[in-house]
Structure 1
Amino acid sequence: MVLLLSVQEYLLRHLPDYLLVLALLSSVVFLTLRRRGTRRSDVPIRRSYNITMGLRKMPFEDWIELDDQFPTYHSIKASRILSRGAQASTTNPTAYGAAMELLEHLVDYLPARYPSLYTRTGTGMRNTYTGETFDITATPLGEDPMQMAARMVQDDLAIMMEGKDGQYYLQAGSILLAGFWRLGDKLGMPLDEIHTSGDVPGYREKLSKGMNNFFGRVMSGGPVVRNNYFMQADDCLAWSHSIGPEDGEQIGWHTSEANKGIEHYHFRSERQTLRRLPRSGGVVFTIRTYFLPITEMAKEPYVPGRLASAIRSWGDDVAKYKGRDRWQDVLLAYLDKEHERQMAEGLEPEKEEYVYPY
C-alpha cells in the first residue's frame, strides 16, 4: 500500500491530468494485452437494424484498443506499407501538421495505456515487442507520418481537414486493413462524396445533414465511438478478394460466389472513434477491425439469434450494400440452427437484454 501511494503521488506531481488516468489504469489492469475474443462491445448487433450515426461518448482512456492479435495485424500492415505504399498510406500537404500532431498524441497515449508494449524515449517511443523505435522529432521524418502511425496501432487511420468552403475533406490516411475500400478512391473527397460514392444506404436521406453538423462541432464534448459490421466471404483481413482483385476496376458483391460453405464466412466489425486534434483542428478517425469466423462468433451466447434477426430486418438498400443475396441461404440456415441449439441447452431469452449493450 505504501508503494502504491508513492506511485500515485509521483504521478500526481509529474503527469498531465489526461495521462494520469491512463497511467493509473495501466499500472493496475494492463499488465499484458488482453486476449482477443467476441467481447460484447465488439459485437454491435441489434435485433432490428436502423440507419443512424450511432455515436456514443467515449472515455479518453478507451481511444486505442490493442489485443494479443497485435503481432498479426502489425505484420500485415508492415507488409502492405511496402507493397501498397502511398496507394494505401499517405498524407496530403494540407494535413501534414495534423498527421504530426497525431503522432505526438500516440506517443503520449500508448506508453501510458500499454506500458508492457511501449516505452517512452527522448524522441518518441519504442515498441518492446518489435524493437522498433519511433523518432517523431527527426527532420525530415523517416517516413510518411501516417505510415509511422500505422505501425503503432492495430487500427486504420484517417484525418479529415476543414476546407475553405466549410466542408471536411479526407486529406490523410493509412487504410491498410479496410477489406472493401481503397484510400486512393477517396483521398481528397469531401465527407458527403465519400459516402455517396460508396452508395452508403440512407446517407442522403438520413445521415448527411447530421454528419456535416456534427463535424462542425465534433469533439467539443470529447471523443466519440461508433460500430458497424459486415459479412465477408473469405478469410483475408486486409482485402476481401471475394469481391474482386484489389486493383480491379470492377469490385463488389456481384463478383462473389453465392452461398459458399459456412466455413468461408467471417464477421467483420469496425470500432470507429472520432476526436478533434486541438492544435491543427483536424478530425482523426481510428478504424479498428475485429475479424472472426462466423462459426466462432456463433458460439457466443445469443449471437446467432441476434444476428439472424438483424439480417432479416435489413431494408433492400442495406441488404444490397452488404451483399445479402450472395450468402443469406447458407448463413441464415446456420445461424438458425445454432440459435435453436443454444435454446435447447438452456439459454434464457429473457436475460438477453441485460447481456448486450446495443
Structure 2
Amino acid sequence: MFPLTTYLTDLGPLEIGFPLIVLLTLILRVTKHSHLSKKESKDSSSKAQTLVFDPLGFRNITPCKELPLHQRPDWPRYWKPGKFQMTMALRKLDINNWFKYDELFDSEHKQKVTMATAPDAENYVDYLDGIDDAVVELLDTVVTYVTKRYPNMVRVDDEYVYIDHLQEKYRIREPYDLHPLAVAGLLIMDDLYVLKKGHKDRYTLRGAFLACPSGWRLQQRIGWQLHQIHDPVPMWKEKLRKSMERFFVNLQPSKAIQRNNLFIQPVGQIFHVVPFEENLKYESIDQVHIRTELQSLTRLPRSEASIFTVRTYLTPMSDLRHEPEQLEALWDHTRNFPPDTANYKCHHLWGDVFEQFCQDVLGKRDTEIASNEEKTKPTVPTSQCPAGF
C-alpha cells in the first residue's frame, strides 16, 4: 500500500485525469447520498413532530363558517327508560362537539365577566398553583380550539384574543390582565376544572372556573381528591371508584371522552350554590327544571394535567309537554331510581308534581301505573342530596 499522492505523482497528465474523475464522481455520490439522507431524516422528523404536535386531534376540526350566536341551545336528551344502571357511560370525544356556542352565550358571558372581576372572584374562579404550566397550556389549548373552530367569532394575534362582536380582548401572554384560567373560562360556555396527579397517583382538584355550580361552592371542594368529590354519589364507591381512578391515571390526550349527566333542580338559575335539599317541596311543575350537562375529560399533552369541562343546560320541565316521547322516557327513567339514588336526586321534593304532570300530559292515570309505583316509590330520605360533579 502507498499513499494516493505518490501514485498520482508517478502518473503523467493524461493518466492522472481518469483517476481524478473517478474520485470526484465518488465524492459527489457520497455527498449527494448524505444530502438526501439528511433531507429524508428532516422530512421524517418533521412528520413525527406534526404527529406529536397534534395529540388532541385538532387537525380534524371543521371551521364553523357562520356565527353560532343565533342557534338555540341543543341540550341533550340522553336519558333512557328501563332499569337503572350505574355506569360512567363514556364515549369518545367528538372534537367538533367539544366547546359549543349558542344564543345564550352573550348573557352567560356577561355574568362570567362579573364573576371573574368581582372582589370575591375566588368564589367563582380560583387556582391553588398560581400561574403554572398547566393553566398556560389550558389557555393555549382553548384559544387554539375556538379560533380554529369559530374563526368568524374569535380571533387571535401574538398577545391578545379578541371577541369582536362584544368588542372585548384578553391578554394571552405575560403580563396577563386576568388569570389564564379566568380567560379560558370566559372564551367558552363551559365550566373548567383542572386536576393534577399527586400522592399515590391520586388526582386533586387544583382549581376551577365555576359559573354553574349545582348546589355547592368552589371553596368547599378545591384541593379535594377525586374520591372525596364523588364518594357521596350512591354506589360510586362500590362500583366505580377503582375503575374511574384507574381511568384517570391511564388517560391519554388522544383518548379524550364525553358523557352526560342529569339532575332535576328547583330553580331556574344556572348559578345555584344553595344545596338542593334546603328547598321546600315543590308545589308546581313550573318550579321544576331539567339540568343536563355535557361533560368532557381530556389530558393536556405537555403538563399532563387533566381538564374536566361541563357545559350546563337548564330547561323548564314544562317544555317537555311538547315532546311526549321524551317526557315518557324521562318519567320511566326517574321511576326506576334505586332508593339511594332517588334521595340523592331529591326525588322527594319534585316527584309528586312531576308524577301529576306526566299523568296529565300523557293521559295515564294512577290505575295504569299503580303496580310499578309500589316497586319504584323512593324511601323517605335519610340524608342530604348533594350534587356532585
1:211 Cα deviation after fit: 0.6
The alignment status of 1:61 with 2:105, answered yes or no, reads: no
Quote the Cα distance in structure 2 between the aligned partners of 1:88 and 1:133. Answer: 21
Q: Is the 8 A contact 2:67 2:153 kept in 1?
A: no
Identity %: 27
Corresponding residue for 2:313?
Answer: 290
Question: Structure 1: which amino acid aligns with 2:107?
Answer: T
Calculate the TM-score normalised by the size of structure 1: 0.81
Moved more, 128-137 or 210-219: 128-137
The alignment of Structure 1 onto Structure 2 pairs a total of residues equal to 309
Match of residue 105, structure 1, among 124, 133, 141: 141
Corresponding residue for 2:203?
Answer: 168
The alignment status of 1:215 with 2:251, answered yes or no, reads: no
Quote the Cα distance in structure 1 between the aligned partners of 2:330 and 2:301. Answer: 39
Quote the Cα distance in structure 1 between the aligned partners of 2:131 and 2:259. Answer: 24
Q: Secondary structure at the match of 1:215?
A: helix
Q: Secondary structure at the match of 1:93?
A: coil
Corresponding residue for 1:47?
Answer: 81
Match of residue 272, structure 2, among 239, 256, 263: 239
Quote the Cα distance in structure 2 between the aligned partners of 1:184 and 1:273. Answer: 22
Quote the Cα distance in structure 2 between the aligned partners of 1:305 and 1:264. Answer: 19
The alignment status of 1:273 with 2:296, answered yes or no, reads: yes
Quote the Cα distance in structure 1 between the aligned partners of 2:78 and 2:169. Answer: 35
1:31 Cα deviation after fit: 4.3
Q: Secondary structure at the match of 1:165?
A: helix
Q: Secondary structure at the match of 1:327?
A: helix
Q: 1:220 to 1:146 in 2, by over 3 A?
A: closer
1:129 Cα deviation after fit: 2.2
Q: Is the 8 A contact 1:274 1:286 kept in 2?
A: yes
Q: Secondary structure at the match of 2:291?
A: strand
Quote the Cα distance in structure 1 between the aligned partners of 2:358 and 2:314. Answer: 17
Q: 1:145 to 1:293 in 2, by over 3 A?
A: same
Corresponding residue for 2:171?
Answer: 135
Quote the Cα distance in structure 2 between the aligned partners of 1:321 and 1:223. Answer: 28
1:142 Cα deviation after fit: 1.6
Corresponding residue for 2:153?
Answer: 117
Q: Is the 8 A contact 2:153 2:164 kept in 1?
A: yes
Q: Is the 8 A contact 1:170 1:190 kept in 2?
A: yes
Quote the Cα distance in structure 1 between the aligned partners of 2:303 and 2:74. Answer: 36
Quote the Cα distance in structure 2 between the aligned partners of 1:305 and 1:183. Answer: 35
Match of residue 64, structure 2, among 26, 51, 62: 26
Corresponding residue for 1:11?
Answer: none
Q: Is the 8 A contact 2:143 2:184 kept in 1?
A: no
Question: Structure 2: which amino acid aligns with 1:282?
Answer: A
Q: Is the 8 A contact 1:231 1:267 kept in 2?
A: yes
Q: Is the 8 A contact 1:34 1:66 kept in 2?
A: no
Question: Structure 2: which amino acid aligns with 1:335?
Answer: C
Q: Is the 8 A contact 1:118 1:127 kept in 2?
A: yes
Quote the Cα distance in structure 2 between the aligned partners of 1:64 and 1:298. Answer: 29
Q: Secondary structure at the match of 2:200?
A: coil
1:19 Cα deviation after fit: 4.1
1:109 Cα deviation after fit: 0.6
Q: Is the 8 A contact 1:304 1:336 kept in 2?
A: no
Quote the Cα distance in structure 1 between the aligned partners of 2:132 and 2:265. Answer: 34
Q: Secondary structure at the match of 2:307?
A: strand
Q: In the TM superposition, what whole-angstrom CA distance separates every residue of 1:41-78 from its partner, at most 9, and x where no partner exists?
A: x1121113321111111122221121111012112222
Quote the Cα distance in structure 2 between the aligned partners of 1:38 and 1:298. Answer: 17
Question: Structure 1: which amino acid aligns with 2:211?
Answer: L
Question: Structure 2: which amino acid aligns with 1:337?
Answer: D
Query: If you compute each CA radius of gyration, which structure gives the higher value, 1 or 2?
Result: 2
Matches within 5 A, 1:245-256: 251-253=275-277, 255-256=278-279
Q: Is the 8 A contact 2:194 2:205 kept in 1?
A: yes
Quote the Cα distance in structure 1 between the aligned partners of 2:248 and 2:130. Answer: 18
Question: Structure 1: which amino acid aligns with 2:184?
Answer: A
Quote the Cα distance in structure 2 between the aligned partners of 1:154 and 1:274. Answer: 16
Q: Secondary structure at the match of 2:64?
A: helix
Quote the Cα distance in structure 1 between the aligned partners of 2:93 and 2:147. Answer: 20
Q: 1:339 to 1:80 in 2, by over 3 A?
A: farther
Quote the Cα distance in structure 2 between the aligned partners of 1:335 and 1:121. Answer: 53
Moved more, 73-82 or 224-233: 73-82
1:206 Cα deviation after fit: 0.8
1:122 Cα deviation after fit: 2.2
1:98 Cα deviation after fit: 0.7
Q: 1:25 to 1:300 in 2, by over 3 A?
A: farther
Q: Is the 8 A contact 2:253 2:301 kept in 1?
A: no
Q: 1:202 to 1:167 in 2, by over 3 A?
A: same
Q: Is the 8 A contact 2:293 2:311 kept in 1?
A: yes
Unpaired runs of 5+ residues, structure 2, are 1-49, 365-389
